[in-house]
Amino acid sequence: MTTVTDEQALDRDRERTPAACDAHPLELLAFCGPHEALEGEPVDGVAIVRFPRWRKSMKVFIVGIGGGVGRRVGEQLAAAGDEPTGLVRQQRQVEALASLGIKTKFGDLVAMSVDELADAVHGADAVVFSAGAGGKDGDDATTRIDGDGPGKLAEAAALAGVRRFILVSVFPEAWRERRMDASFEHYMVQKKRAEIALVQTDLDWLIVRPSALLNDPGTGRVDLGLAKVHEQITRDDVATTVVALLKSSDLSRLILEVTGGEVPIAEAVAAVREATAPCGSEQA
């Protein structure tokens, strides 16, 4: 009987033969020594054991890594063993993010060409845009970052061969209970313009519209769907929702609204999957 080391096992897992996979369809299989072998005949002359389900780490490029949602997305991905990389402009950000397990690349979204941005994105499995001018530097900065930025990143992602794109946008009726100034209205127009630019691409996109953001600790529970009543939500819960959607490759080309709620995030994502499944498709 052939035996291999644990390190070799993970490499060979990725190239399992169909016969071996069919033999144990419920779990990903790994190879190792006979002392850990399952009962029964070996497959292809190799003793097989059940390992925890192997998952290729996801490489995610984040624009807006310095913001409240973007940083939290990076932290959660790093904690899960994935590989987040953020676009930064300052050295102090490099050190702070490295301490959280987040890699960085230097660059300025506004100043970079599409080709330069594509070079930075190259090798990623997905991109997340959660940047915003935050009302700083006037309406022009809002136009260039909130309005032009997502479309520019989408163009770069397509050039780099990266199809998965999640845009963190905003509820269309955010703060409508207040009298907001002209700069806020300009911000809302730019957010909508960015959404339009993204949906006109052929990327594998999702748009997430969170309600008013809070810095309170996350609850792990949300109200997520195609249309929701605007309330409030923590940045922690928005980030957790984005991470869950990144790992839900079957959800694509949807605009989702999310606010605080009572449904655990994993269940909320599953409910969206069921609600948006094509008619007549098999349900899990």
DSSP-assigned beta bridge partners for residue 87: 105
Same-domain pairing of 229 and 109: yes
Q: State how far the Cα of 157 lies from the Cα of 148, in Å rounded to an integer.
A: 14
Same-domain pairing of 134 and 199: yes
Sequential pLDDT tens for the chain (284 residues)? 333 333 444 444 444 433 333 333 333 333 333 333 333 444 444 433 333 444 689 999 999 999 999 999 999 999 999 999 999 999 999 999 999 999 999 999 999 999 999 999 999 999 999 999 877 778 999 999 999 999 999 999 999 999 999 999 998 765 555 556 788 889 889 999 999 999 999 999 999 999 999 999 999 999 999 999 888 999 999 999 999 999 999 999 999 999 999 999 999 999 999 999 887 555 44
- pTM score, whole prediction: 0.79
Domain membership of residue 282 (yes or no) is: no
> In this structure, is the dihedral angle defined by the CA atoms of residues 175, 177, 178 and 183, taken in order, positive or negative?
positive
Strands (E), 101-147: 103-106, 126-129
Domain membership of residue 281 (yes or no) is: no
Residue ranges making up the domain that contains 30: 6-50
- Residue that the structure tokens 């984005």 belong to: 242
Same-domain pairing of 82 and 142: yes
Same-domain pairing of 140 and 90: yes
3-state secondary structure of 101: coil
Same-domain pairing of 128 and 21: no
3-state secondary structure of 164: strand
Among candidate residues 88, 187, 188, 269, the one labeled active-site is 187
**Could you tell me if 85 and 105 are in contact, meaning their C-beta atoms sit under 8 angstroms apart?**
yes
Same-domain pairing of 15 and 102: no
Q: State how far the Cα of 117 lies from the Cα of 120, in Å rounded to an integer.
A: 5
Same-domain pairing of 142 and 211: yes
Same-domain pairing of 107 and 157: yes
Domain membership of residue 284 (yes or no) is: no
| Residue 187 known to be catalytic | yes
Same-domain pairing of 122 and 170: yes
CB neighbour list of residue 144: distance below 8 Å, 6 or more residues apart: 110, 133
3-state secondary structure of 226: coil
